[in-house]
Structure 1
Amino acid sequence: MANSSVISSLRLQPLSSFSSSSSPPPYSRPLYLKFHTSHRENLRYLSTLGVIPQNPRLAPPADNLPAILSAVNFLKSKGISDQDFPRLVFLCPQLFSPTFDISRIDPVFDFLTLELGASAAESRGLIVNCPNILLSDVEYCLRPTLVYLRELGLQNLNRASKTNAHVLNTRVEKLRAKMRFLKSIGFQNEEAARVCGRIPAIFGYSIEDNLRPKFEFLVYDMERELEELKKFPQYFGFSLGKRIKPRHWHLKKKNVRVSLSRMLMWGDLKFYSKWKP
């Protein structure tokens, strides 16, 4: 009877405790799964999190569960919340592979906290925005990238935005390629650095599929000078096919020429009301 009561006390809460109406806040003390619970309970718990399929026929072998549970508990101890797991599983399934050593990602959390200066909430946000950052090498990717970005003057990289997450997870050579492009079209080094500081999303744009076509349209079709682009580098952030071209040709038909910011920043209602078709 004594053993029975001990085992009973170690069991998980009922599954109803994982419902959206009663789930704990992301940063409350996490509920850890006990490894000595029944195989069925473990499967129910992992399927509730979205880590494994709900269909029992697709469940992993029993021998794989300890590694999967270790990964779940490790990530929860770092602030990852229940609702984050489906995204992590979808984008980084290797984290939950029985052959993956989850302790390998511990240096990434140390980097985010100690070198980037991110809080637990900010670290979680960066990871959820770009789960692959967990698989990046700190020494060869994350640290050199952070140093380079700071040399360019980028600030607030610890903020949990999608742009920050993906830029931090980009190797330095790709970042330098964007700088070389800006300098090739006439920006001075300091000017190019300021552009990247103001619009870090530019590091995620393809040169040949995005930046170069927009620049060529600006110069050859719109017949505008580089100085206009220097004043309004946000131009690169707008869609060429959906925003830039339609508005340019619309204004040209009206024989109207306005600044790039006025042409692109206004919403459709304001823009087309001002210059009606």
Structure 2
Amino acid sequence: MLAGQSQYHQLYSIDILGLRDHRLPSIAPTLHLPSTTNSTYKRTRQLSISSSLNHHQNPQTTSSSPTSDNEENFLRTHNAKSSVLLLRHLSPHQEGNSTPPSAHPESQGKLIPREDKAKLLKMSLIRKRTPQFPGSIYVQCPSGPDFNASLPPLQNLFEEQKGNLVITANDDDDEMLMKALEIRRGVTVEIFKEAMRKGKFGITYSTNLISKLSDFIDFVMIQVASMKQLPEFSTASYNFRARTFIDDSGVVPLIRWLKHNSLSYPQIAKLICMSRGNLNSIRRLAEWLKTIYVRGRYIGVALTRAGGNILECNSQDLDEIVGYLEDNGVRKDWMGYVVSRCPEILSFSMEELKGRVEFYLNMGMDEKDFGTMVFDFPKVLGYFPMEEMNQKVTFLKEFGLNDEEVGKLLAFKPQLMACSIEEKWKPLVKYFYYLGMSRDSMRRILCIKPMIFCVDLETIIVPKVQFLRDIGVQEEAIGNMIAKFPPLLTYSLNKKIRPVVVFLLTKAGVSQRDIGKVIALGPELLGCSIANKLDHNVKYFLSLGISLRKLGEMIADFPILLRYNVDLLRPKYQYLRRTMVRPLQDLIEFPRFFSYSLDERIIPRHRIMVEQRVNFKLRYMLGGTDEEFDQRVQAAVERRQRFESGVTFEEESSDSQTDVGSLTACSS
């Protein structure tokens, strides 16, 4: 129920008992009736009020005490005989006084049992009454001429009435009022459904929508009860007043318009309850959202999630918020996307919004980075409390990052702000320490692949680490693997990592003994596509005449071999075989040959070797720096010159020993 239930309780106790002259309480809410033409009220005045309303309001005039002579005319209505017998049995028998109970409301109320009170209350307040079976005491057919005359006045259902004040003597009267309240609520729901049916809404849709409009139904009941103080509706029934208020409020056309704009019925119901009767604010705000490119179902999302006070904001304040964001890098055509994903921005005051924007700009983030960050993850601006945002920035600085680095990190991955420190970051850091990682390694992971700090530890990271253990990766190497190639932890275990390992074992010739070594030395292989990269490279090497077993040994020696582009491998192989005239075995023994540049390393050093008439294995030819290569070439040239001069190694050794002996004798 609404918070104003007590207000309606007081209004309703007056409305239901028909106390016209009683002054409405001061707590009655202000009546928000839509503007209605005078012709409507003239039509209302001309409406003939049914006799039932007059009977309930003035029971003494309709239930005047007849004498025994005209008693038959008084009771000659529906089931007259049974009514006479019951009334005579219930009334006190006194000589010369055969007044029916309806003429004594003070005593009639005390004669009605509690169970019958509830039945009579329902019979008096329900909207549609059905004819009763023959023998009924009370007429329940509204078309009957003396329908209301057959029912006792509603005042008699309560303990005592003095003047125009209803005195509730015990909890029984409060219970009766609450029952009357529930009956009237059901009547209001039925009138609302009837208005929905007139608006061409289906029965199921109307029922589902109204079931979520309990607050608005209570609001309608309060307003309808307040309408009784207006002269135009002073003699109108509750049903007529409720129907008039619902029709004039325009709620049914508003529901049709919101449904046309792709709002679901829960969103429509929430908006109507949030409006607190000011239904025009819903249409006004929805039209404003369209001006900033909010479309479709996101209109309902923005209206319902922006906060309860959003319907009270004027367009000038909202335009100021949008203009401030545009000045700080959020493009106008992005605004609809940003507001759709984080409508809480619209509920901020300008002071709070400026504080949030400056929070990021003070970390060295420029307007361009700020705008793209907000577009990438709008919740980074308006969803989290400022205290929580400061705590997360402080935690990131503990890895050795300064303000500018944190700003760049958040601009690149603003989803970090959505991660919990206690639930995600601290358990992850503890687990990395368990794997042997240093804080510098964690800092590298955070900078290269910050998404790792956003994934779930138990369901994503731990199973992958366990899989690496199962295939033979050494425990101390797992931490280095992750630090070397952080994207490893973001790949799917069953769709990416496991299929690559199976391919290496079955199609690339890698043995079960070497697979752990291959993955540890080349974790980048786990990120390669099998169809577009690995399979293509394996087929190329096999086409060169390399056996599958030899290829597996080459991969175990140099795992990155499968990551190279075949278009880059082909010229190197051709130069090796045609120009250098080297056998294929040299390539099998030294697969790292493909890792060197053809123009900057292989060709220049090969030319030097040809010019100096020396020859090296591939590992000595390409390995080392240029200075080391020059020293090798110089030593090889000297050996070749000595060989050509006929000086053998033994003669050179003897000559050197003779020289050492003579030098020793001279010194002695």
* TM-score when normalising by structure 1: 0.70
Helix, strand or coil for the counterpart of 2:370? coil
> Aligned partners of 1:248 and 1:130: how far apart in 2?
36
Counterpart of 1:45 (choices 247, 257, 260) is 257
CA drift of 1:173 comes to 3.6
Match of 1:105 in 2: 318
**Bigger Rg, which one:** 2
Aligned-pair distance for 1:67? 2.0
Q: How many residues were matched structurally?
A: 237
Q: Report the 3-state secondary structure (helix = DSSP H, G, I; strand = E; otherwise coil) of the residue aligned with 2:371.
A: coil
User: In 2, are the aligned partners of 1:117 and 1:158 still within 8 Å (CA)?
Assistant: yes
Which of 152, 155, 159 is residue 372 of structure 2 equivalent to?
A: 159
- Measure, in 1, the Cα distance between the counterparts of 2:269 and 2:489: 53
What amino acid maps onto 2:456 in structure 1?
S
1:157, distance to aligned residue in structure 2 (A): 2.7
Structure 2 counterpart of 1:228, from 416, 441, 446: 441
What does residue 117 of structure 1 align with? Answer: 329
Letter of the 1:164 partner, please give it.
Answer: F
Judged with a 3 Å threshold, the aligned counterparts in structure 2 of structure 1 residues 47 and 193 are, in CA distance, closer, same or farther, namely closer
**Equivalent runs, 1:1-277 vs 2, <5 Å:** 40-50=252-262, 53=265, 64-92=278-306, 94=308, 97=311, 100-103=312-315, 104-114=317-327, 116-140=328-352, 142-154=353-365, 155-159=368-372, 164-169=377-382, 170-184=384-398, 186-190=399-403, 191-220=405-434, 222-233=435-446, 234=450, 235-256=452-473, 257=478, 258-260=481-483, 261-268=486-493, 269-275=495-501
My pick for the range that moved more, 170-179 or 120-129, is 170-179
Q: Which has the higher contact order (CA 8 A, sep 6+)?
A: 1
One-letter identity of the residue aligned with 2:306? C
Distance 1:147 1:225, change over 3 A: same
1:271, 1:148 → 2: CA distance?
A: 40
CA change 1:46–1:263 in 2 (3 A) is: closer
CA deviation map 1:247-267 (0-9, x unaligned): 112212334232342521434
- Following superposition, the deviation at residue 132 of structure 1 comes to 0.9
Deviation at 1:63, TM superposition (A): 5.4
Report the CA distance shift for 1:182/1:67 in structure 2 as closer, same or farther (over 3 A): closer
**SS of 1:117 mapped into structure 2:** coil
Percent identity of paired positions between Structure 1 and Structure 2 = 17
- Cα distance 1:93–1:203, how it changes in 2: closer, same or farther (>3 A)? closer
Deviations 1:91-126 (A, max 9, x none): 2363674xx234343332122222x23222211111
- Quick one: distance in 2 between partners of 1:171 and 1:183? 19
Write the distance in 1 (CA, Å) between the matches of 2:290 and 2:363: 34
Describe the superposition over 1:208-234 as per-residue Cα deviations: whole angstroms up to 9, x where unpaired.
Answer: 1111111111112x2212222222212
Distance 1:251 1:153, change over 3 A: farther
1:270 maps to a residue whose letter is K
Letter in 2 for 1:107: E
Judged with a 3 Å threshold, the aligned counterparts in structure 2 of structure 1 residues 69 and 199 are, in CA distance, closer, same or farther, namely closer
Partner secondary structure for residue 369 of structure 2: coil
Q: Is the 8 A contact 1:130 1:162 kept in 2?
A: no
Shift of 1:161: 5.8
- 8 Å CA contact 1:153, 1:193 repeated in 2: yes
Task: Judge conservation of contact 1:47–1:53 (CA < 8 Å) in 2.
Answer: yes
* Separation in 2, partners of 1:44, 1:68: 13
Cα shift at 1:172: 4.3
CA distances 1:50-74 after superposition (whole Å, capped 9, x unpaired): 55849x9996799532222222222
SS at match of 1:128: helix
The amino acid that maps onto 2:489 is L
Q: Which amino acid aligns with 2:381?
A: L
Unaligned 5+ segments in structure 1 are 1-14, 16-35
The CA deviation at 1:138 is 2.5
Deviation at 1:181, TM superposition (A): 1.1
Q: Tell me, what secondary structure is at the counterpart of 1:158?
A: helix
Aligned partners of 2:276, 2:438: CA distance in 1, in Å? 66
Alignment CA distance shift 1:241-1:65 (3 Å): same
Q: 1:248 and 1:213, CA in 2 relative to 1: closer, same or farther beyond 3 A?
A: same
Shift of 1:82: 3.7
Query: For 2:411 and 2:276, how far apart are their aligned partners in 1?
Result: 50
Q: What are the ranges of 5 or more consecutive residues in structure 2 without an aligned counterpart?
A: 1-199, 201-247, 503-511, 513-668
Aligned to 1:23: none
Are the equivalent residues in 1 in contact too, given 2:373–2:414 (CA < 8 A)? Answer: no
Whole-angstrom CA distance in 1 between matches of 2:264 and 2:307: 10
Looking at structure 2, the residues matched to 251 and 147 of structure 1 have their Cα atoms a distance apart, in angstroms, of 44
Instruction: Measure the CA separation in 2 of the matches of 1:62 and 1:173.
Output: 33
Mapped to 2, the partners of 1:264 and 1:199 lie a distance apart of: 16
Amino acid across the alignment from 1:271: I
CA distance in 2, matches of 1:132, 1:272: 43
Structure 1 residue 244: Cα displacement: 1.0
Measured in 2, the distance between the counterparts of 1:160 and 1:83 equals: 24
Shift of the alpha carbon at 1:48? 2.1
